[in-house]
């Protein structure tokens, strides 16, 4: 608190990121990073870009990366926006497209940054409760609003809506922007980018942090109608004209050029997720069906906070949220097979 702060700063409730421990001996299953490293071709591209050209500003609009993304998704360059992480892209989306007279609709349980942006940008949010199975029901969004945002698969539940439900949401809100945050879609979902040419009100947000193993590089993007993208560019160019540095641009382009590696590692994560689900169920956990690189699980006889503490004491960290409807769940990121085996061993010892 300080008298020097702008008034808005007093009102903010900032997002609290998952712990990034200093010890590298911990098994880190708490922030949904990919257990596999980036493609060797990405690392080579970053090394190759590490030269004297770093004295020069990068391409302010990241055209090469936009072309790689457009090619990958079968859209055109003016339908693509790129930014320094999907968090940054989302921040720009909230400013550029989601601040209207009517409240913005979002699930009551979803990515914790959405209400934070509303606080920062003065957007009224209305949280729509998930149903008793912690699923999003698109019918519940049939109400006057200034826009809709949801994550699909949702976080932290991992539950997936089919494209037919997204289509329904878009049909129900022809005059509002519907933002679908697909941070985890590559782990078993179908992307709504397939719908952008049919729906001028659809914006889909992706990140390279999860399925492309590049959380440390900070690259995200959005795909939608060119007029929506133009709004994002206007805000971006009123704030930071060069959000993506030369190394990030080089690495991100190379990631889209190595599709084999991307598919292979996504499949490995999905395989481990299915094995882990079975092993957790064998220990008595209820595990929500997940289409993400994490599972959301609770044990009917054991307190989640105690389990998280017990895991931590044995050098395994998972995420525990304290919000009322989900405070008995653990969100466990999918690690390597060996990491997940260790997790299951420790849980087994804590339950016995």
Ligand X SMILES: Cc1ncc(COP(=O)(O)O)c(C=O)c1O
Stretch of 19-27, 83-91, 138-146, 254-262 lying at the interface with ligand X (CB under 6 A): 83-91
Residue closer to ligand X (CB basis): 86 or 201: 86
Residue closer to ligand X (CB basis): 89 or 250: 89
Asked if 151 touches ligand X (CB under 6 A), the answer is: yes
Asked if 290 touches ligand X (CB under 6 A), the answer is: no
Asked if 155 touches ligand X (CB under 6 A), the answer is: yes
How deeply is 135 buried, as exposed, middle or buried, from its count of CB atoms within 10 A (0-12, 13-18, 19+)?
A: middle
Maximal CA-CA distance, the chain? 60
Q: CB of 125 within 8 A of CB of 145?
A: no
DSSP per position, 100-130 = -SSPEEEESSS-THHHHHHHHHT--EEEEPP
Q: Which residues of 51-76 are buried (b: 16+ CB within 10 A; e: fewer)?
A: eeeeeeebeebbeebbebbbebbebe
Residue 159: CB minimum distance to ligand X, A: 12
By CB under 6 A, name the one of 39, 79, 85, 290 that touches ligand X.
85
By CB under 6 A, name the one of 79, 207, 290, 293 that touches ligand X.
207
- Region 111-130 residues binding ligand X, contact defined as CB under 6 A: 111
Asked if 215 touches ligand X (CB under 6 A), the answer is: yes
Letters for 26-45 (x = contact with ligand X by CB under 6 A, - = none) are ------x-------------
Give the closest residue to 298 by CA, choosing from 310, 281, 285. Answer: 285
As a whole number of angstroms, the distance between CA 222 and CA 97 comes to 12
Stretch of 2-10, 79-87, 118-126, 228-236 lying at the interface with ligand X (CB under 6 A): 79-87
Strand, helix or coil at 284?
coil
Asked if 148 touches ligand X (CB under 6 A), the answer is: no
By CB under 6 A, name the one of 181, 186, 225, 339 that touches ligand X.
181
- Interacting residue ranges for ligand X, rule: CB under 6 A: 32, 85-87, 111, 151, 155, 181, 183, 207, 209, 215, 220
């Amino acid at each position: 608190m300080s008298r020097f702060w702008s008034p808005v700063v007093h009102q903010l409730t900032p997002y609290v990121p998952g712990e990034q421990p200093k010890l590298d001996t911990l098994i880190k299953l708490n922030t949904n990073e990919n257990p596999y490293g980036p493609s060797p071709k990405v690392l080579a591209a970053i090394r190759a870009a590490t030269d004297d050209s770093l004295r020069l500003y990068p391409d302010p609009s990241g055209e090469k990366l936009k072309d790689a993304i457009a090619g990958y998704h079968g859209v055109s360059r003016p339908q693509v926006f790129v930014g320094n992480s999907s968090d940054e892209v989302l921040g720009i989306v909230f400013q550029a497209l989601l601040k209207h007279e009517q409240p913005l609709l979002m699930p009551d349980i979803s990515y914790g940054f959405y209400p934070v942006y509303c606080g920062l940008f003065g957007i009224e949010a209305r949280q729509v409760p998930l149903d008793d199975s912690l699923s999003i029901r698109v019918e519940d969004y049939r109400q006057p609003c200034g826009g809709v945002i949801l994550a699909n698969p949702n976080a932290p539940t991992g539950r997936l809506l089919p494209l037919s439900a997204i289509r329904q949401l878009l049909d129900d809100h022809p005059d509002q922007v519907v933002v679908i945050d697909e941070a985890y879609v590559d782990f078993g979902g179908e992307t709504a980018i397939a719908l952008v040419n049919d729906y001028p009100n659809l914006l889909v947000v992706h990140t390279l942090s999860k399925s492309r193993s590049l959380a440390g590089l900070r690259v995200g993007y959005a795909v939608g109608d060119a007029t929506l993208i133009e709004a994002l560019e206007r805000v971006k160019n009123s704030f930071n004209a060069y959000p993506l540095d030369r190394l990030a641009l080089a690495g991100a382009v190379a990631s889209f050029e190595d599709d084999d590696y991307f598919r292979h590692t996504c499949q490995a994560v999905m395989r481990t997720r299915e094995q882990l689900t079975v092993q957790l169920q064998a220990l008595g956990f209820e595990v929500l069906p997940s289409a993400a690189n994490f599972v959301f699980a609770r044990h009917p006889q054991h307190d989640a906070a105690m389990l998280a503490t017990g895991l931590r004491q044995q050098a395994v960290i998972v995420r525990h949220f304290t919000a009322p409807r989900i405070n008995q769940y653990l969100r466990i990121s999918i690690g390597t097979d060996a990491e997940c085996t260790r997790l299951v061993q420790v849980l087994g010892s804590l339950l016995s």
